[in-house]
């Protein structure tokens, strides 16, 4: 019962202060998990620990006993998964027998009512796969008594049907699914049969399946969405009389609008003789992107079996997506499907297995989900907009109608526990929150400088900024520590046949930009020489190292350098070693980062030089007795302003060879 706390949407009618935590009397056996308890995972008032909440997510959901052609609970919706049959018909999505078995086992964990394991007549491998699934998964009975129905597809002819039965009869609950087209265009051009012949073929197929000992027979009038309703009434009535227990209504070409398809289901239930003795089903293709909407419209109008696939894979544009259907019913079934019964619709799917099953199907078929795919896309629970991130930090229900934990995506403390992807649209609150979580508490001026640098990098880096990137930018001190000189422009030219050349633009303490171009032994050497000439310092590069922060072509590079003033330079500093009392030249280090290795190197060098110049400003000056106070002040002001900068006319470029 306590699991019901986890599947209520904050926007559903059931989610009110008076109803929260109660089970709707319309489905007292229902235990749901969308993860409402995870909306406020840090709420100190919650009596449940996080461990208990996760445990509840994995609890199996109760379901009515399985009876072919009848569902004791009129509000229960059976989920018929055809990933292994229709899904595998996607071009390039061929699965091996062992892969099919693994997927079938995950589908059983998910709790689907029926697994359409394949098309046994298609090939020996298909037959073996269906037979193995029937013998293994079809006989694995869970503690709650659940075992999935194993279904095999066949055309409406004895050979196909016999082959299907041979493959599935080892299952505890075997089902034969047979079909024949009923639209005018299919009958005329594909089947070359008259309507009367189609009816006869359909009836004989169902009778033959029943004669084999199968008491669970599904019949589909292919292309029902474009078939004459009056003809459908005749066909369906006769296959019911012949022994069909489930009538599946396919929108084979994805032709129907949701209101049209819902009306078809409603009319078939009202006008087909003995319709009350069977379960009506939907099978919607996604050619117009309406497969899920059409399936839900069918459920609204009385269909109590919905056929779908993991990730929505299938012929052409795919099928109705299982995860979309299941979560739509879980979130909206309480109050948005009351057209007929004034009650609610629900399934027994365990959503916590959606993510692992989705990933398995994507990996085995090679069909990766689009990033913005509903429910299972990599962006489905990620937030980059600054406004959204601010809301998520304050209350996750501001922008999430379900939790990732409820579908098996355990977000935990990553991305601030709120799916925050830091990118160019991120705001100050989101960035600062993540920095605090990483242990950095930046003062306002440093945070401002950090944000400026963050935006620069985020503009160039696809996929968002991860924690390693943030820490690299924090280490990139040239942006906000001792900033006397700022790198504002850089361009290099290098190659096997030319001389490496760097053009540098820098802004000094006097806010004047200076330009210079020079050559070097390599692009970094040329950059460093140009910087030296602009600033006017004479230093030695003591150490230089670079490493990538993460993987990928757009990974950040972090560069670390150490410099020391040359003895004959104008900026020559000494320090006494604390252990040996020897006089040693002081060294200054700098760190820089960027997706461009040359820019990263330049920023590190400028950072070190800024430290050197800043130390020069602060260090005590031993002036000679005959040096006037005015001269001393003038010297120190000059050092603080720009070191010993050589001014370069901004309108000219010079090349020093």
400 close to 394: Cβ distance less than 8 angstroms? no
Give the model's pLDDT for residue 371: 85
Whether the pLDDT of residue 112 is over 50: the answer is yes
Does residue 292 belong to any structural domain of this protein?
Answer: yes
Question: Do 83 and 38 belong to one domain?
Answer: no
Which of 32-36, 337-341, 566-570 shows the lowest per-residue confidence on average (mean pLDDT)? 32-36
Over residues 30-39, the pLDDT tens digits come to 333 454 433 3
List, in sequence order, every residue forming a beta bridge with 343; answer none if it has no partner: none
Between 134 and 96, the more confident residue is 134
162: its two tokens:
């016999």
Q: Which of 509, 526, 445, 432 is nearest to 480 (CA)?
A: 445
**Residue 70: helix, strand or coil by DSSP?**
strand
In angstroms, the CA 99 to CA 126 distance is 12
Over residues 576-587, the pLDDT tens digits come to 443 444 556 777
Helix (H) or strand (E) holding 270: helix 258-271
The domain that contains 541 carries what CATH number? 3.30.160.270
Give the model's pLDDT for residue 231: 98
552 close to 597: Cβ distance less than 8 angstroms? no
Give the model's pLDDT for residue 457: 80
Question: Do 173 and 316 belong to one domain?
Answer: yes
Q: Which of 233, 260, 262, 257 is nearest to 247 (CA)?
A: 233
In angstroms, the CA 523 to CA 526 distance is 5
Over residues 130-170, the pLDDT tens digits come to 999 999 999 999 999 999 999 999 999 999 999 999 999 99
Over residues 629-647, the pLDDT tens digits come to 444 444 444 444 444 444 5
Over residues 365-377, the pLDDT tens digits come to 878 888 899 999 8
Whether the pLDDT of residue 396 is over 70: the answer is yes
Q: Which domain holds residue 434?
A: 386-400+418-475
The domain that contains 166 carries what CATH number? 3.20.20.70
Place of tokens 């009869």: 169
Whether the pLDDT of residue 6 is over 70: the answer is no
Give the model's pLDDT for residue 403: 85
Does residue 283 belong to any structural domain of this protein?
Answer: yes
Does residue 444 belong to any structural domain of this protein?
Answer: yes
572: its two tokens:
């020559």
Which of 92-96, 174-178, 260-264, 478-482 shows the lowest per-residue confidence on average (mean pLDDT)? 478-482
| Phi, psi angles (nearest 5°) of residue 155 | -75, 170
Does residue 423 belong to any structural domain of this protein?
Answer: yes
Give the model's pLDDT for residue 30: 37
Question: Do 268 and 308 belong to one domain?
Answer: yes
Whether the pLDDT of residue 26 is over 70: the answer is no
pTM to 2 decimal places: 0.67
Distances (CA, A) of 15 to 77, 332, 335: 22, 11, 11
Question: Do 327 and 456 belong to one domain?
Answer: no
Does residue 143 belong to any structural domain of this protein?
Answer: yes
539 close to 453: Cβ distance less than 8 angstroms? no
Question: Do 503 and 558 belong to one domain?
Answer: yes
Residues 6+ apart with CB under 8 A from 307: 80, 81, 82, 86, 116, 248, 281, 282, 283, 284, 295, 319, 320
In angstroms, the CA 295 to CA 315 distance is 17
- Confidence tier at 612 by pLDDT (50, 70, 90): confident
DSSP string of 227-262?
A: S-HHHHHHHHHHHHHHT--EEEEEETTS---HHHHH
Question: Do 316 and 393 belong to one domain?
Answer: no
Which of 351-360, 410-419, 618-627 shows the lowest per-residue confidence on average (mean pLDDT)? 618-627
Question: Do 181 and 256 belong to one domain?
Answer: yes
- Where among 443, 475, 507 does a domain terminate? 475
Give the model's pLDDT for residue 225: 96
- Where among 427, 446, 475 does a domain terminate? 475
Residues 6+ apart with CB under 8 A from 361: 83, 87, 103, 310, 311, 313, 367
Sign for the CA dihedral angle at 121, 125, 131, 134 comes to negative
254 close to 288: Cβ distance less than 8 angstroms? yes
Whether the pLDDT of residue 222 is over 70: the answer is yes
Domain count, the chain: 4
Question: Do 137 and 255 belong to one domain?
Answer: yes
Does residue 35 belong to any structural domain of this protein?
Answer: yes
Give the model's pLDDT for residue 549: 74
Over residues 378-390, the pLDDT tens digits come to 788 877 777 877 8
In angstroms, the CA 5 to CA 9 distance is 10
Does residue 225 belong to any structural domain of this protein?
Answer: yes
Residues 6+ apart with CB under 8 A from 517: 501, 502, 503, 504, 530, 653, 654, 655
Question: Do 309 and 345 belong to one domain?
Answer: yes
Which of 400-404, 605-609, 624-628 shows the lowest per-residue confidence on average (mean pLDDT)? 624-628
Does residue 379 belong to any structural domain of this protein?
Answer: no
Residues 6+ apart with CB under 8 A from 254: 225, 284, 285, 286, 287, 288, 290, 291, 294, 316, 317
DSSP string of 417-435?
A: GTTB-BSTT--HHHHHHHH
- Neighbour tally for 511: CB within 10 Å: 7
285: its two tokens:
């293709």
Between 90 and 620, the more confident residue is 90
- Confidence tier at 104 by pLDDT (50, 70, 90): very high
Whether the pLDDT of residue 74 is over 90: the answer is yes
SS3 content of the chain, % helix, strand, coil (to 5): 40, 20, 40
DSSP string of 327-364?
A: HHHHHHTTTS--SSSSS--B----GGGHHHHHHHHHHH
Whether the pLDDT of residue 201 is over 60: the answer is yes
| Phi, psi angles (nearest 5°) of residue 226 | -115, 15
**Percentage of residues in the chain having pLDDT higher than 70:** 77
Residue 229 CA neighbour count, 13 Å, CB half: 12
The chain-wide mean pLDDT, for the chain, equals: 81
Between 463 and 218, the more confident residue is 218
Place of tokens 């299952």: 171
Question: Do 577 and 526 belong to one domain?
Answer: yes
Question: Do 267 and 122 belong to one domain?
Answer: yes
State the burial class of residue 196 (Cβ atoms within 10 Å of its Cβ: 0-12, 13-18, 19+). exposed
In angstroms, the CA 236 to CA 252 distance is 17
Between 479 and 417, the more confident residue is 417
Question: Do 482 and 616 belong to one domain?
Answer: yes
Compute the CA torsion angle 267, 271, 276, 279 (nearest 10 deg).
Answer: -50
- Where among 29, 59, 89 does a domain terminate? 59
Residues 6+ apart with CB under 8 A from 627: none
Give the model's pLDDT for residue 10: 30
Residue 72 CA neighbour count, 13 Å, CB half: 8
Over residues 435-463, the pLDDT tens digits come to 766 656 677 887 888 888 888 888 877 66
Q: What is the mean pLDDT of residues 347-351?
A: 95
Beta strands in 510-556 (DSSP E): 513-519, 539-548
The greatest distance separating any two alpha carbons of the chain, rounded to the nearest whole angstrom, comes to 121
Q: What is the mean pLDDT of residues 407-414?
A: 69
Give the model's pLDDT for residue 441: 67
């Amino acid at each position: 019962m306590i699991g019901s706390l986890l599947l209520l949407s904050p926007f559903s009618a059931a989610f009110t202060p008076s109803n929260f935590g109660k089970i709707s009397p319309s489905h007292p056996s229902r235990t749901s998990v969308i993860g409402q308890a995870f909306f406020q995972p840090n709420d100190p008032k919650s009596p449940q620990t996080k461990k208990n909440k996760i445990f509840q997510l994995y609890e199996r959901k109760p379901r009515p006993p399985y009876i072919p052609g009848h569902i004791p609970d009129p509000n229960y919706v059976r989920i018929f998964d055809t990933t292994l049959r229709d899904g595998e018909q996607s071009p390039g999505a061929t699965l091996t027998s062992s892969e099919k078995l693994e997927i079938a086992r995950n589908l059983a964990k998910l709790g689907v009512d029926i697994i359409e394991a394949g098309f046994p007549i298609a090939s020996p491998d298909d037959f073996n796969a269906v037979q193995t699934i029937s013998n293994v998964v079809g006989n694995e009975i869970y503690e709650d008594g659940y075992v999935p129905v194993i279904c095999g597809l066949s055309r409406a002819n004895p050979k196909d049907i016999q082959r299907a039965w041979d493959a599935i009869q080892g299952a505890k609950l075997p089902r034969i699914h047979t079909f024949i087209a009923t639209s005018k265009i299919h009958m005329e051009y594909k089947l070359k049969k008259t309507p009367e012949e189609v009816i006869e073929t359909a009836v004989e197929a169902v009778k033959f399946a029943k004669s084999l000992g199968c008491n669970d027979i599904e019949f589909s009038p292919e292309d029902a969405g474009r078939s004459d309703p009056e003809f459908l009434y005749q066909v369906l009535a006769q296959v019911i009389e012949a022994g069909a227990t489930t009538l599946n209504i396919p929108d084979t070409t994805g032709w129907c609008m949701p209101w049209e398809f819902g009306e078809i289901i409603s009319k078939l239930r009202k006008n087909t003789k003995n319709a009350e003795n069977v379960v009506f089903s939907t099978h919607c293709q996604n050619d117009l992107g309406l497969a899920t909407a059409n399936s839900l419209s069918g459920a609204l109008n009385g269909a109590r079996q919905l056929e779908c696939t993991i990730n929505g894979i299938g012929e052409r544009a795919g099928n109705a997506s299982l995860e979309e259907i299941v979560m739509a019913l879980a979130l909206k079934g309480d109050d948005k499907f009351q057209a007929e019964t004034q009650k609610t619709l629900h399934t027994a799917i365990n959503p916590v297995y959606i993510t692992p099953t989705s990933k398995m199907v994507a990996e085995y078929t090679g069909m990766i989900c689009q990033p913005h795919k509903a429910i299972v896309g990599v962006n489905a629970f990620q937030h980059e907009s600054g406004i959204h991130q601010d809301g998520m930090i304050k209350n996750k229900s501001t922008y999430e109608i379900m939790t990732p934990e409820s579908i098996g995506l355990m977000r935990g403390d990553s991305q601030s526990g709120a799916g925050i992807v830091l990118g160019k649209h991120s705001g100050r609150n989101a960035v600062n929150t993540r920095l605090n979580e990483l242990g950095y508490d930046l003062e306002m001026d440093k945070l401002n400088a950090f944000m400026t640098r963050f935006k620069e990098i985020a503009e160039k880096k696809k996929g968002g900024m991860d924690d390693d990137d943030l820490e690299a930018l924090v280490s990139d001190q040239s942006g906000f520590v001792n900033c006397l000189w700022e790198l504002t422009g850089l361009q290099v030219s290098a190659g096997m046949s030319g001389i490496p050349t760097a053009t540098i633009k820098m802004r000094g303490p006097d806010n004047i930009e200076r330009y210079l171009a020079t050559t070097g032994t390599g692009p970094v050497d040329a950059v460093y020489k140009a910087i030296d000439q602009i600033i006017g310092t004479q230093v030695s590069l003591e150490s230089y190292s670079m490493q990538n922060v993460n993987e990928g072509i757009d990974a950040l590079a972090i560069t670390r350098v150490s410099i020391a003033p040359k003895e004959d330079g104008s900026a020559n500093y000494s320090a006494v070693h604390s252990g040996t009392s020897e006089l040693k030249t002081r060294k200054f280090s700098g760190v820089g980062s960027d997706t461009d290795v040359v820019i990263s190197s330049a920023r590190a060098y400028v950072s070190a030089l800024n430290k050197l110049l800043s130390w020069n400003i602060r260090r005590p000056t031993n002036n000679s007795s005959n040096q006037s106070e005015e001269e001393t002040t003038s010297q120190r002001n000059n050092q603080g302003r720009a070191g010993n900068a050589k001014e370069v006319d901004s309108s000219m470029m010079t090349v020093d060879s």
